[in-house]
């Protein structure tokens, strides 16, 4: 019998650790991926999952594209004079005053148009891709942080907790473990709602077990329950030892999760990863209220996010642990550029991602999404930054994972992004070259072909073409080029008329531009 089936079957007879433990396992043997990873860091990563597909164009509004955007989503578009300006080209939703303050105080990086090639618009599949860090055409059974933790803690869960590692490695606030922390043999994450109400689970009578598959599973269950009880003790001790110093907004479900995270960190728990969740972002209808586009479901969600993050960051500062913690949002996809007739938006492609903390390079990384006068009905925001480059840059600059190991963890085409600053780190990763890219397609619009022109140094270049739905349909170049001017002809005889995007990647730099076949 498979272990997962065994657990479901045994649930009727055994009190399983559903709220604290939630360890998910697989029958695959563990293999070592990494040669060496630093596991001495006390740094913490907090993941904020915005479930449902966040409308990034209603959260981070491109001022330099405002008129064209208003033409295709006029029934939900915010008045320009209501926006919270961050720069001449970028603004925030008016409900996000707390996050605006974080940006003003150098506590926020916005990464524009984060996504992946060949976007899947299913909630379930796209969430799998984001949590595993897999290509969109492959199904990986481990999470991107699970693979990282596998490299740190070989053999888990056997032998853990122990004197060296008494604390849980990851905690998910809620009832379901996060797939981001799924390792080869087990999920490193425990689930937790209230750190002050953890009961002891009955471990049963000790004794020998038969040398059978049933006996193996019974041994696993006994180990899991014992681990759960051991972790319960250290979590409760940390909660009792910790304290919050900021005032969190009442009735804010995200703030309550983050309040417990800050409490446990302040109480001395050495957990490396926390996952919190804010749901409700699947705004096909009633994203705004008729007659008042500044209100509605999405505005309420953004206010919850903004107020919770402002309180959490203030708490970390008052507790003196701000330099130990960064937080990062992610959502399975953005929404389409055009709004629908139900005052909402449908499943799209890329969207902005936010990274919070005192150790971020406070900036807007990337350009405003390009919105033209012609927008296809299913057109989403074109990807600028592959989300795996964001993950990998966090691993390199926060957890001090080598670039070669990042490529093993994620993908070989990884490019480092300057999201974090040194901030008392021992990391010596080189700065990426982020000089501006000059690129153009002519003619544009075009009928049968267009020529893409750009300049580069002596560097690796990937030039890809995507359709309006985010599918990578052509790779025009993927090689190291000599320094100089380059031209690549894009033949489109076999493609239907419509909107397309080309994305140019150079070493540490990228640019996405729209082109239209007529």
Those residues with Cβ within 8 angstroms of residue 372's Cβ, 6 or more apart along the chain or in another chain: 68, 499, 514, 516
Structure tokens of 197? 């109400």
**Cα Rg, the chain, nearest whole Å:** 24
Record: fold of 439-517 = Immunoglobulin-like (2.60.40)
Query: Please, are residues 87 and 361 in contact by the beta-carbon 8 Å criterion?
Result: no
Non-local CB neighbours of 35 within 8 Å, separated by 6+ positions:
405
Residue ranges of the chain assigned to CATH 2.60.40.2550: 439-517
Element containing residue 111 per DSSP (H, E): strand 108-115
| 35 DSSP 8-state letter | S
Task: Per residue of the chain (518 residues), give pLDDT as tens.
Answer: 344 333 333 332 223 333 343 333 333 333 334 444 445 679 999 999 999 999 999 999 999 999 999 999 999 999 999 999 999 999 999 999 999 999 999 999 999 999 999 999 999 999 999 999 999 999 999 999 999 999 999 989 888 999 999 999 999 999 889 999 999 988 999 999 998 877 555 555 566 667 777 666 655 666 666 667 788 889 999 999 999 999 999 999 999 999 999 999 999 999 999 999 999 999 999 999 999 999 999 999 999 999 999 999 999 999 999 999 999 999 999 999 999 999 999 999 999 999 999 999 999 999 999 999 999 999 999 999 999 999 999 999 999 999 999 999 999 999 999 999 877 533 333 344 446 788 999 999 999 999 999 999 989 899 999 999 999 999 999 999 999 999 999 999 999 999 999 999 988 788 999 999 99
For residue 90, CA distances in Å to 58, 62, 387 come to: 12, 5, 21
Q: CATH class for domain 3-409?
A: alpha beta
pTM for this one?
0.86
Q: Which helix (H) or strand (E) holds 189?
A: strand 189-192
On the CB side of 29, CA atoms within 13 Å amount to 2
Element (H, E) at 477: strand 472-481
Q: Which of these, 119, 85, 120, lies nearest to 104 by C-alpha position?
A: 85
Would you call the peptide bond into 210 cis, given omega within 30 degrees of 0 as the criterion? no
Q: Where in the chain is the domain with CATH 3.40.720?
A: 3-409
Dihedral sign, Cα of residue 190, residue 328, residue 384, residue 334: positive
* All residues at 6 or more sequence positions from 410 whose CB lies less than 8 Å from its CB, including other chains: 133, 144, 388, 391, 392
Residues 122-156 as b or e (16 or more Cβ within 10 Å = b): ebeebbbbbbbbbebeeebebbbbbbbbbbbbeeb
What are the φ and ψ backbone dihedral angles of 94, each rounded to 5 degrees?
-60, -15
């Amino acid at each position: 019998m498979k272990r997962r089936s065994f657990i479901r079957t045994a649930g009727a007879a055994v009190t399983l650790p559903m709220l604290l433990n939630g360890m998910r396992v697989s029958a695959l043997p563990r293999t070592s991926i990494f040669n060496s990873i630093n596991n001495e860091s006390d740094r913490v990563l907090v993941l904020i999952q915005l479930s449902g597909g966040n409308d990034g164009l209603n959260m981070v509004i491109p001022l330099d594209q405002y008129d064209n955007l208003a033409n295709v989503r006029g029934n939900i578009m915010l008045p320009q004079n209501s926006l919270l300006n961050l720069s001449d080209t970028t603004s925030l939703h008016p409900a996000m005053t707390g996050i605006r303050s974080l940006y003003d105080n150098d506590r926020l990086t916005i990464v524009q148009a984060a996504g992946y090639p060949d976007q899947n618009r299913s909630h379930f599949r796209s969430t799998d891709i984001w949590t595993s860090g897999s290509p969109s055409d492959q199904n990986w059974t481990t999470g991107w942080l699970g693979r990282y933790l596998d490299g740190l803690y070989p053999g888990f869960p056997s032998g853990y907790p122990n004197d060296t590692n008494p604390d849980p490695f990851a905690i998910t606030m809620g009832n379901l473990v996060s797939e981001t922390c799924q390792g080869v043999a087990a999920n490193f994450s425990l689930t937790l709602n209230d750190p002050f109400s953890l009961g002891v689970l009955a471990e049963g009578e000790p004794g020998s077990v038969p040398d059978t598959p049933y006996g193996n599973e019974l041994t696993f269950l006994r180990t899991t329950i014992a681990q759960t009880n051991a972790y319960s003790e250290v979590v409760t001790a940390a909660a009792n030892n910790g304290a919050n110093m900021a005032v969190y907004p009442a009735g804010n479900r995200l703030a309550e999760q983050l309040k417990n995270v800050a409490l446990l960190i302040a109480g001395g728990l050495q957990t490396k990863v926390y996952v919190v969740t804010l749901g409700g972002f699947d705004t096909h209808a009633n994203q705004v209220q008729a007659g008042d586009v500044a209100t509605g479901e999405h505005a309420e969600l953004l206010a919850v996010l903004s107020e919770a993050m402002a309180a959490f960051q203030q708490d970390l500062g008052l507790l003196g642990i701000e330099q130990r913690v960064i937080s990062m949002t992610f959502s399975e996809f953005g929404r389409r550029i055009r709004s629908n007739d139900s005052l909402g938006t449908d499943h799209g492609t890329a969207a902005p991602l936010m990274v919070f903390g005192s150790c971020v390079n406070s900036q807007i990384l990337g350009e405003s999404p390009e919105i033209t006068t012609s927008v296809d009905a299913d057109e989403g925001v074109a990807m600028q930054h592959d989300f795996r480059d964001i993950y990998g840059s966090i691993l390199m600059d926060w957890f001090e994972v080598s670039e070669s190991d990042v490529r093993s963890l994620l993908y070989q085409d990884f490019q480092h992004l300057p999201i974090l600053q040194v901030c008392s780190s021992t990391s010596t990763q080189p700065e990426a070259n982020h000089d501006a890219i000059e690129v153009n397609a002519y003619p544009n619009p075009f009928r049968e072909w267009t020529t893409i022109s750009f300049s580069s140094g002596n560097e690796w270049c990937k030039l890809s073409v995507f359709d309006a739905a985010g599918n990578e349909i052509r790779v025009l170049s993927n090689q190291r080029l000599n320094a100089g001017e380059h031209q690549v002809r894009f033949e489109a005889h076999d493609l239907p008329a419509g909107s397309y995007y080309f994305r140019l990647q150079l070493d540490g730099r990228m640019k996405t531009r729209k082109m239209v076949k007529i």
